[in-house]
């Protein structure tokens, strides 16, 4: 029986900062006084229950987690602000310049807000409204991780080629060409992979703690993706008649789906293993679809207008917008427990996070009503914000 089903049946029964001119400024004043001492009901943690016919809740710990969210207020005004919430209450507010309004530039680490901004030939990282560090390069920061030894960033050259891994702005590893993947930790090491096209052939490399290693498909196929999970290397390769996901002696085969053409593929780390998402397109009309592969199980799902995948903890969660963007579907990969959220804006993968079997989403209604944090069971935590949410971070209680 699929892992999701096992989990569902087992658990479903229970219900003074200095100003930096022209960039980012911490504003203190009436905003921080509004409702700042409000304490959410400990029984609900600030969430409002969904309708009576909503699906039962997944298991939730006795001590609810800390839920942080960030968003942009009054984005069309002359003085837009970045707001940080903790358990539904405003805790910080910063003014923003127009380039910093982009959700891709926001990285929330607990209640600490990092913003990446490129001005001229310099890229600067701000923390809670103050300059943290800068470096002489124009980079789009795709990943930011705060670790004990500093703040690590992975950034692509805005001129269109090359990338750099940096610690506190200092270059640790760089290439003048190539496309990097996600930056992540596994055990005590820091990883990412990158691809490089030479002579019409795509080469793939893994970078571990600043050193890179060339990779080849273990079974002689075309290497499509690689990742490290639990200290083990996982490979996804195209064998001509289908795809193979492997790790040492573990091998999982997935046949080609007739009527669909291959577009791209990615691997997602998860506890105890790895899953693959193979992006396809229907031969008739080019409609996108996704083949989700986990061990011996596969699910073919419509790609809609955009999909997001979360494997950090069981049960796995799949988010998909319908083609006309009027609904966001939340379900397991085996289609169990599907719920739909009508007409919401969702700014990307950093607007959702898993914690102890639950998924938390930062949603912004398209009709202009207040944004909210959503979790399974259609429970919502409304937030006082005139604008849109750009990220969420869920952490263990203090």
- What letter would DSSP give residue 293? E
Q: Tell me how far CA of residue 98 lies from CA of 76, 138, 143, 345, in angstroms.
A: 9, 17, 21, 20
Architecture of domain 137-215: Beta Barrel (2.40)
CB contact at 8 A, 83 and 92: yes
Bond from prior residue into 315 cis (ω within 30 degrees of 0)? yes
* Phi-psi sector, 240: left (phi>0), alpha (psi -120 to 50), beta: left
**Half-sphere exposure of 387 toward its Cβ, with a 13 Å CA cutoff?**
22
Task: Give the span between the Cα atoms of 282 and 263, in whole angstroms.
Answer: 10
Most confident range, picked from 150-164, 303-317, 320-334 = 150-164
CA-closest candidate to residue 108, choices 123, 92, 97: 92
Other Cβ atoms closer than 10 A to 208 = 15
- Asked whether the beta carbons of 286 and 329 are under 8 A apart, the reply is no
pLDDT tens-digit map of 258-312: 999 999 999 999 888 999 999 999 988 888 899 999 999 999 988 777 889 998 8
- pLDDT tens digit sequence for 132-145: 999 999 999 999 99
Task: Give the per-residue pLDDT at 61.
Answer: 62
Q: So where are the chain's domains?
A: 137-215
Residue 361 neighbours by CB distance under 10 Å:
24
Helix (H) or strand (E) holding 30, with range, is: helix 30-33
Q: pTM of the predicted model, to two decimals?
A: 0.84
């Amino acid at each position: 029986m699929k892992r999701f089903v096992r989990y569902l049946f087992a658990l479903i029964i229970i219900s003074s900062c200095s100003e930096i001119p022209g960039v980012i400024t911490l504003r203190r004043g009436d905003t921080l006084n509004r409702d700042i001492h409000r304490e959410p009901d400990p029984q609900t943690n600030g969430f409002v229950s969904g309708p009576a016919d909503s699906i039962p809740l997944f298991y939730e710990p006795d001590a609810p987690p800390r839920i942080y969210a960030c968003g942009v207020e009054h984005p069309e005004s002359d003085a837009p602000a970045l707001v940080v919430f903790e358990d539904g209450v405003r805790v910080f507010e910063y003014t923003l310049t127009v380039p910093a309004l982009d959700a891709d530039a926001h990285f929330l680490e607990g209640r600490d807000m990092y913003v990446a901004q490129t001005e001229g030939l310099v890229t600067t990282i701000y923390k809670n409204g103050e300059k943290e560090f800068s470096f002489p390069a124009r980079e789009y920061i795709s990943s930011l991780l705060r670790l004990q030894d500093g703040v690590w960033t992975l950034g692509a050259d805005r001129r269109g080629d090359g990338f750099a891994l940096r610690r506190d702005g200092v270059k640790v590893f760089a290439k003048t060409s190539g496309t990097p993947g996600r930056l992540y930790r596994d055990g005590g090491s820091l990883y990412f992979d990158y691809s490089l096209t030479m002579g019409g052939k795509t080469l793939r490399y893994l970078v571990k703690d600043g050193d890179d290693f060339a990779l080849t498909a273990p079974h002689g196929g075309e290497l499509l993706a690689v990742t490290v999970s639990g200290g083990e290397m996982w490979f996804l390769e195209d064998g001509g008649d289908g795809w193979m996901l492997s790790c040492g002696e573990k091998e999982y085969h997935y046949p080609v789906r007739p009527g669909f053409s291959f577009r791209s593929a990615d691997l997602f780390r998860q506890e105890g293993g790895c899953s693959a998402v193979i992006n396809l397109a229907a031969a008739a009309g080019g409609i996108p679809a996704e083949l989700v592969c986990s061990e011996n199980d596969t699910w073919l799902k419509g790609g809609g207008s955009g999909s997001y995948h979360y494997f950090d903890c069981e049960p796995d969660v799949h988010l998909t917008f319908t083609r006309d963007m009027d609904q966001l579907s939340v379900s397991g990969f085996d289609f169990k427990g599907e719920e739909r959220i009508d007409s919401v804006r969702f700014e990307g993968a950093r607007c959702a996070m898993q914690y102890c079997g639950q998924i938390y989403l930062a949603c912004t209604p398209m009709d202009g009503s207040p944004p909210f944090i959503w979790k399974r069971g259609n429970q919502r935590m409304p937030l006082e914000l005139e604008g849109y949410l750009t990220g969420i971070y869920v952490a263990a209680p203090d």
